[in-house]
Amino acid sequence: MSSDAFSGVRCLGIVHEAIMRVDKIASFSLVIALIFASLTTVPAVAQGGTIQFHYNAQHTGDYSLVAGSNMSKGLLTWSFATGAAVLSSPAIANGTVYVGSDDNNVYALNATTGAKLWSFTTGDEVYSSPAIANGTVYVGSDDNNVYALNATTGAKLWSFATGAAVLSSAAIANGTVYVGSDDNNVYALNATTGTKLWNYTTGAAVLSSAAIANGTVYVGSEDNNVCALYADNGTKLWNYTTGNAVLSSPAIANGTVYVGSEDNNTYALNATTGTKLWNYTTGGGVYSSPAIANGTVYVGSEDNNVYALNATTGTKLWNYTTAGGVYSSPAIANGTVYVGSEDNNVYALNATTGRLSWMFAIGNVVLSSPAIANGTVYVGSYDDNVYAVGNAVAATGTPGFDVGLVFVGLVFVGLVIAAYVAKRKR
């Protein structure tokens, strides 16, 4: 049963009980309060676990477990203005949105209202997307550092200095933080202390964010390679060479690594051997990181399109054309694909057909990748804002109402009043 249907049944039950006991109720305000309490939608809170770029350590981008059933209708719930562009992708945990900004700050915002809970100032721009585990936020900065912050207060727990900017987003697994740096290295750090466990040196900057599965770290580099490394010690298992830089972050599902390249291709590689299973060629560079759900790979391209590809064969199922390059990485929840575009819009597309469900206009380019929790889509923009796009306008954090249920509720209020009046006339 859907949440709306459940609310309707609950409303009927409340009204029935109110009618049966109406002679004992001193005020109709109680009845009305009960009815409207059943209609009010209060967002639930995504609790616990490790939340990171593209949702999990495998970077599948499938948020269905935390998305809720009452999905976004493309209405602005709130926006929060930072001091510069927001290229970082939000992460949501325990009712809080964590996101970086080009104004050098990491922000923690109330997921329901957008109110700022805290901010932490680094020494340079924060393109990296935060990861949250065990009450700690991990994020990189252009000031060359990886930071661990208390998720509740924003207090710095530790920092680790690399040799160059950290645009890569941290991935966390088994008490270890894996992150790339423009100094050409992939680092493994103790999540509690920040102590370096190992580093692996590639031939160029590592902007790609590592994905972890089955004790293996998968990551791209501007040296054109996708590498597979032992998570325990950083030893290379294999590398696959594409035709250009790999800024896209790998995603892993069912023993396959999916990743884009600046050579215009999306690749599917055997996760154990690195053997190419297939590639699909688009009309532009693929900086977007693939998302995988229900046997389908979703990915954006510089050629303005979002593509849906058969995960086994690479056959194109559909494409949707926007009016700008799609550098944003798709997010999936409950049969819908959410993605931003250089054309200043966020799109919601039917995952099966590619048909447009809704489009939300933003004031500037959207390179940030959407994250989803409790029916709301969170995303940043070049217009300096973080947006929450949900089911109802609630800019001050006031819970939204489903118009249909409100109408039903008003009808039942009328029935309650009529029943009461009829009883008093007896």
What would the pLDDT profile of 193-203 be if each residue is shown by its tens digit?
999 999 999 99
How confident is the model at residue 115, as a pLDDT? 97
113-122, 172-181, 342-351, 404-413 — which is least confidently predicted? 404-413
Q: What is the tens place of the pLDDT at every residue in 341-370?
A: 999 999 999 999 999 999 999 989 999 999
How confident is the model at residue 272, as a pLDDT? 98
Q: For residue 95, what pLDDT band results from cuts at 50, 70 and 90?
A: very high
pLDDT reading at 29 higher than 90: no
pLDDT reading at 5 higher than 50: no
Span 410-417, mean pLDDT? 49
State how far the Cα of 391 lies from the Cα of 375, in Å rounded to an integer.
7
How confident is the model at residue 13, as a pLDDT? 40
Greater model confidence, 338 or 10: 338
Where are the domain boundaries for CATH 2.130.10.10 in the chain? Answer: 64-398
* CB-CB neighbours of 331 under 10 Å: 28
Partners of residue 385 on adjacent β-strands: 81
How confident is the model at residue 244, as a pLDDT? 98
Greater model confidence, 250 or 392: 250
3-state SS, one letter per residue, for 281-338:
ECCCCCCCCCEEECCEEEEECCCCEEEEEECCCCCEEEEEECCCCCCCCCEEECCEEE
Q: Which of 113, 61, 2 is nearest to 258 (CA)?
A: 61
Q: Is the domain covering 64-398 a CATH 1.10.3720.10 domain?
A: no
Q: Which of 399, 301, 294, 290 is nearest to 342 (CA)?
A: 301
pLDDT reading at 93 higher than 70: yes
Q: What is the tens place of the pLDDT at every residue in 324-337?
A: 999 999 999 999 99
Greater model confidence, 77 or 412: 77
Q: Which of 245, 252, 208 is nearest to 225 (CA)?
A: 245
Tokens standing for 3? 């949440």
Q: What is the tens place of the pLDDT at every residue in 155-177?
A: 999 999 999 999 999 999 999 99
pLDDT reading at 255 higher than 50: yes
**337 Cβ neighbours under 8 A, 6+ residues apart:** 291, 298, 306, 308, 330, 331, 347, 348, 349, 350, 351
Tokens standing for 123? 């020494």
pLDDT reading at 243 higher than 80: yes
* CB-CB neighbours of 17 under 10 Å: 12
pLDDT reading at 396 higher than 70: no
Q: For residue 36, what pLDDT band results from cuts at 50, 70 and 90?
A: very low
Environment class of 7 (CB within 10 Å of its CB; exposed 0-12, middle 13-18, buried 19+): buried
Span 31-42, mean pLDDT? 35
